[in-house]
Amino acid sequence: MTDELARRSRLDPLHERLASRLREEIIKGWRPPGTALGEVEVAAEFGVSRNPVREAVRVLEAEGFLVSRPGRGVIVARIDEDEARGILEVRANLETLIARSAAERRTEDQLAQLHRVMAAAEDAMTQGRLDELPALNSEFHDLLAQASGNQVARRIIAGLMMKVAWMYSIDVGNRAPASWCEHGDLLKAIEAGDVEGADQLMCVHIANATADFSLKYRRDPIEGLR
């Protein structure tokens, strides 16, 4: 078993740790769409039996990261245009609620955590560590959800952000500077308690992400999406 898996909490079932690792590799593009995931090969790679691999695959199939294809076995899935638009539409409505609530309810500690993630993202961009940005983006939005005080919204957005991170990682170098600039403006509004400003800035942020996705899809509908 790899050191990474061994470091994960031993309270988590092995198949959940495997699912987490495979999900991360898919999101980062290390296992591109169409890549086969054979039970025997994956079990050998991680030094485990086939049973936890089989369970991990079931988890990721249910989440939409993997899909079974006749004659090809289980392969890494691809986000299609309809699914991506659906994710962005739901996200737009949910995250404007989160932004408004965060502007009203955020604590000083939560603001400090948001500033920490902003600083980490700026450092990652400066140093060219772009592979760190999707996870930082997810963390930023999760912290916003925490600051909103709405745990239902936080649970829902957590599921969406796994797919958003997948989409975000595709063209991260082009979208990242503008995206994190928008995050900075949004954070200023939340820190100032500007409810309407936070609402409007989140709307702009999601609209820009949607437009960027549309351009990417039209340019390369087959290989552009993961």
Note the pLDDT tens digit of each residue in 178-215. Answer: 999 999 999 999 999 999 999 999 999 988 888 876 66
Q: Which amino acid is at 41?
A: E
What are φ and ψ of residue 216, in 5° steps? -65, -40
pLDDT digits (tens, 9 = 90+) for 93-130: 999 999 999 999 999 999 999 999 999 999 999 999 98
- Name residue, tokens 């200023």: 188
Return the pLDDT at 161: 85
Return the pLDDT at 212: 76
* Confidence check: pLDDT of 72 > 80: no
CA distances from 171 to 57, 128, 165, 205, 215 (A): 26, 14, 11, 16, 11
> What residues does 131 pair with on adjacent strands?
none
Decide if 190 contacts 95 (C-beta within 8 A): no
- Kindly indicate whether the domain formed by 81-219 is annotated with CATH number 2.60.120.330: no
pLDDT digits (tens, 9 = 90+) for 30-67: 898 889 999 999 999 999 999 999 999 999 999 999 99
Nearest one of 174, 157, 161 to 208, comparing CA atoms: 174
CA atoms of 179 and 130, how far apart (whole Å):
13
* Confidence check: pLDDT of 4 > 80: no
* Confidence check: pLDDT of 77 > 70: yes
CA atoms of 159 and 164, how far apart (whole Å):
9
CA atoms of 21 and 1, how far apart (whole Å):
12
Secondary structure (3-state) at 120: helix
Query: Which pLDDT band holds residue 9 (cuts at 50, 70, 90)?
Result: very low
* Confidence check: pLDDT of 85 > 90: no
Identify the architecture of domain 3-76 in CATH. Answer: Orthogonal Bundle (1.10)
> What residues does 73 pair with on adjacent strands?
69
Secondary structure (3-state) at 198: helix
Return the pLDDT at 148: 97
Using CA atoms in the order 160, 166, 168, 171, what is the torsion angle rounded to 10 degrees? Answer: -160
Q: What does the domain layout of the chain look like in residue ranges?
A: 3-76, 81-219
Q: What is the pTM of this model?
A: 0.76
DSSP 36: B
Nearest one of 183, 142, 139, 160 to 86, comparing CA atoms: 160
